[in-house]
Amino acid sequence: MADFDSQLTLGRLLPRLEARLAASAAAEPAAWQAFLRRVEQHFPRLLRLLRQLYQGHYDFFFYLEELLALMAQSWLERPPALRDLDAQREADPDWFQSHHMLGGVCYVDLFAGDLQRLRTKIPYFQELGITYLHLMPLFERPAGENDGGYAVTSYRRVHPPLGTMQQLRQLADALQAAGISLVLDFILNHTADDHEWAQRARQGDPYFRQYYYIFPNRQMPDAYERHLREIFPEEHAGAFSPLLSANGEPTGEWVWTTFHRYQWDLNYSNPATFNQMAAEMLFLANLGADVLRLDALAFAWKELGTVCESLPKAHTLIQAFNAVARMAAPGLLFKSEAIVHPDDVIGYIHPDECQLSYNPLLMALLWNSLATREVRLLQLALCERHNLPPGTAWVNYVRCHDDIGWTFSDEDAARLGIKGYDHRRFLNDFYTGRFAGSFARGLPFQENPRTGDCRISGTCASLAGLEKALREEGPEEVELAVRRILLLHGIILTTGGIPLIYLGDEIGLLNDYTYRSHPERARDSRWVHRPPADWERYARRHDAGTLEGRIFQGLQRLIRLRKSTPALAGGLLEVMQTGNEHVLGYTRASHGQQVLIFANFTEGEQTVAANVLRLSGIVAPVTDLLSGEVIPAGNLTLAPYRLVCLAVF
């Protein structure tokens, strides 16, 4: 019946669509036929999803027809080079699973100054081996506080100090020519309060007021907040803020602001909001974005009487956006940003939802393993939570622009005799340097003095001990810090998925405490790990006698290992029991090759018994594919923080 309904609906809508776009379709008959083929394939799914979201709306079919017209027009306007890329990726849907994939992420202004100068850094990206470049929010944003660009004034204008939309298109073209996929943020949960839609809503326009959650008094906000958690309680209590008039006077009304007062949550129970955001999404796709990071997607759907996080219809909503993309920009991928319980993270990962997802659990447990010198929690997570459905992949990272939260499962920890609350207190103390003997120099983010709860800010180098070693210790501690940095990156480069490097970490940039002198940043410790690129230090990357050279060249050896080892393609991983709680072991296999990786998470030598190697299929002597060292028969001895990659024959 569902197929019949979709065929009947499409049969009624297509003649109207063809009449509406007759001239455009006649100008590009091949493109029009390609669109119709995709509509025939994907429209039934889109109709089913939209009915789940909007069936009760009297004007449902009006918005459905408008959406279909929007998709068709967007496809016909899609540049030919992007249509060709769509065809290539439809023919090779697992293109992002290649062992040649390597990601980098940066802020345009902090890394290069502006879009024009960023184009001149493409040779550097190629030198590093990057094939996937995520540019942090670069769209127009409010002056002053703007959540690092995550408050969007316009999705169709670049933040003026960074350049113009034309320069962004030119950059996208240049990246594509260099074999680098462009990743942009699609901030779908909210807009800035100075966005045109918000301004129209503030002025009383009834159409645009429905784009947001605006209430005349506290009755509904109070009802919602009985079940909601506070995200930034030190800024504003609850999830709502007073709605101010254009001249800043209180109106008595309230608007939903999950994060900051200047970020108004979008109302996706309104089909007009969905259509408008689908238009913004396709605009970014036609600009040249290969991947969109879906920011704060867990919060996008609201229902009274619930926590309004990771609700079933939040998934339905993302799946509907996915179906739109399959018809109008079929090469486009989604990356989930869901920093939630590990059981909920996996719920967003599917070819029909988000093909990619950040892996916050791996990040948290890598730092946990460095602090504890034990791999038990990490081993359990890799064993039970790492492997994903076909057609999807993790994006693995050591750290990002955001804070580090200890997102491990309390249930997993309890199985190992670890109390989650107490362990998070320990990790917070360790990475803020308060724990005796800690090598880390991080800062607390959103600290609650009463409970001790917080998250951690800091660059990879400062958290891994380099800052303390340089300023308080000596050469031996510096060497250990460098090894920790390389070990962490060695894991994300070999576990499976797309490894993502926060640019600056590849030369060991330390915390930047000057953020405290900027009023709009001083309250946000995350700016400590967003230092501007120091190109004098980058120039030292080829000198192995410098710290920059030691880290950069060590990382390049790891990257060369990844790109020369087909077994590291894809994402499937099998954990190996090493018999040593300080040593992580896992097997990767693909393209007819199998390798075994061992990693020592301590500052002392560790041993893996010869029998473990034998049972794993290792025939000694064997060559470490990373160092080239021939490892003799017998027990495997691992130097401090060493990672080895052994071929299984």
Are the C-beta atoms of 102 and 132 separated by less than 8 Å? yes
Band (649; pLDDT cuts 50, 70, 90):
low
Burial 352-374 (b: 16+ CB within 10 A, else e): bbbbbbbbbbbbbbbbbbbbbeb
Are the C-beta atoms of 379 and 584 separated by less than 8 Å? yes
Are the C-beta atoms of 222 and 215 separated by less than 8 Å? no
Fold assignment, 567-647: Immunoglobulin-like (2.60.40)
Q: What is the mean pLDDT of residues 455-466?
A: 97
**Which amino acid, residue 604?**
G
Q: Which residue has the tokens 């940039």?
A: 509
Q: How far apart are the first and last CA of the chain?
A: 54
Q: What is the mean pLDDT of residues 259-276?
A: 97
The rounded distance, in Å, linking the Cα atoms of 565 and 495 is 12
Look up residue 307 and give its DSSP letter.
-
Please give the distance of CA 144 from its chain centroid, rounded to a whole number.
25
User: pLDDT higher for 338 or 383?
Assistant: 383
Burial 213-248 (b: 16+ CB within 10 A, else e): bbbeeeebbeebbeebeebbeebbebbbbebeeeee
The rounded distance, in Å, linking the Cα atoms of 565 and 589 is 10
Sketch the domain layout of the chain as residue ranges: 1-187+273-358, 192-265, 567-647
**Which amino acid, residue 144?**
G
Q: What is the mean pLDDT of residues 122-151?
A: 95
pLDDT value at 1 more than 60? no
- Please write the tens of the pLDDT for every residue from 486-504: 999 999 999 999 999 999 9
The rounded distance, in Å, linking the Cα atoms of 547 and 543 is 9
- Please write the tens of the pLDDT for every residue from 466-484: 999 999 999 999 999 999 9
The rounded distance, in Å, linking the Cα atoms of 281 and 287 is 10
Please give the distance of CA 156 from its chain centroid, rounded to a whole number.
22
CATH homologous superfamily, domain 1-187+273-358? Glycosidases (3.20.20.80)
The contacts of residue 407 (CB under 8 Å, 6+ apart) are: 339, 340, 341, 342, 360, 361, 364
pTM equals 0.96
pLDDT, averaged across the chain: 95
Which pLDDT score is estimated for 548? Answer: 98
The rounded distance, in Å, linking the Cα atoms of 480 and 640 is 8
344 assigned to active site = no
The contacts of residue 156 (CB under 8 Å, 6+ apart) are: 139, 165, 280, 283
- Tell me the sheet residues that pair with 647: 595
- Please write the tens of the pLDDT for every residue from 76-87: 999 999 999 999
Look up residue 373 and give its DSSP letter.
S
Cis peptide before 621 (omega within 30 of 0): yes
- Please write the tens of the pLDDT for every residue from 408-432: 999 999 999 999 999 999 999 999 9
The rounded distance, in Å, linking the Cα atoms of 424 and 429 is 9
- Please write the tens of the pLDDT for every residue from 206-263: 999 999 999 999 999 999 999 998 888 778 889 999 999 988 899 999 999 999 999 9
Catalytic residue among 86, 147, 295, 512: 295
Are the C-beta atoms of 218 and 241 separated by less than 8 Å? no
Are the C-beta atoms of 593 and 647 separated by less than 8 Å? yes
The contacts of residue 490 (CB under 8 Å, 6+ apart) are: 558, 599, 626, 643
**Which amino acid, residue 582?**
H
- Please write the tens of the pLDDT for every residue from 592-629: 999 999 999 999 999 999 999 998 888 888 999 999 99
- Please write the tens of the pLDDT for every residue from 554-573: 999 999 999 999 999 999 99
Which stretch of DSSP H or E encloses residue 413?
Answer: helix 410-415
Catalytic residue among 140, 309, 337, 374: 337
The rounded distance, in Å, linking the Cα atoms of 203 and 412 is 51
Look up residue 460 and give its DSSP letter.
H
The torsion of the CA quartet 283, 287, 291, 295, rounded to 10 degrees, works out to -50
Q: What is the mean pLDDT of residues 146-170?
A: 96
The rounded distance, in Å, linking the Cα atoms of 385 and 69 is 41
The rounded distance, in Å, linking the Cα atoms of 647 and 622 is 7
Task: Give percent of the chain above pLDDT 90.
Answer: 90
624 assigned to active site = no
Which pLDDT score is estimated for 618? Answer: 86
The contacts of residue 290 (CB under 8 Å, 6+ apart) are: 85, 132, 181, 182, 183, 331, 332, 333
Which pLDDT score is estimated for 449? Answer: 78
Q: What is the mean pLDDT of residues 198-203?
A: 96
Query: How many of the other CB atoms lie within 10 Å of CB of 120?
Result: 11
- Please write the tens of the pLDDT for every residue from 20-62: 999 999 999 999 999 999 999 999 999 999 999 999 899 999 9
Which class is 192-265 in CATH? alpha beta
Which pLDDT score is estimated for 248? Answer: 86
Angle formed by the axes of helices 2-20 and 29-54, nearest 10° = 130
Which pLDDT score is estimated for 230? Answer: 86
Which pLDDT score is estimated for 2? Answer: 61
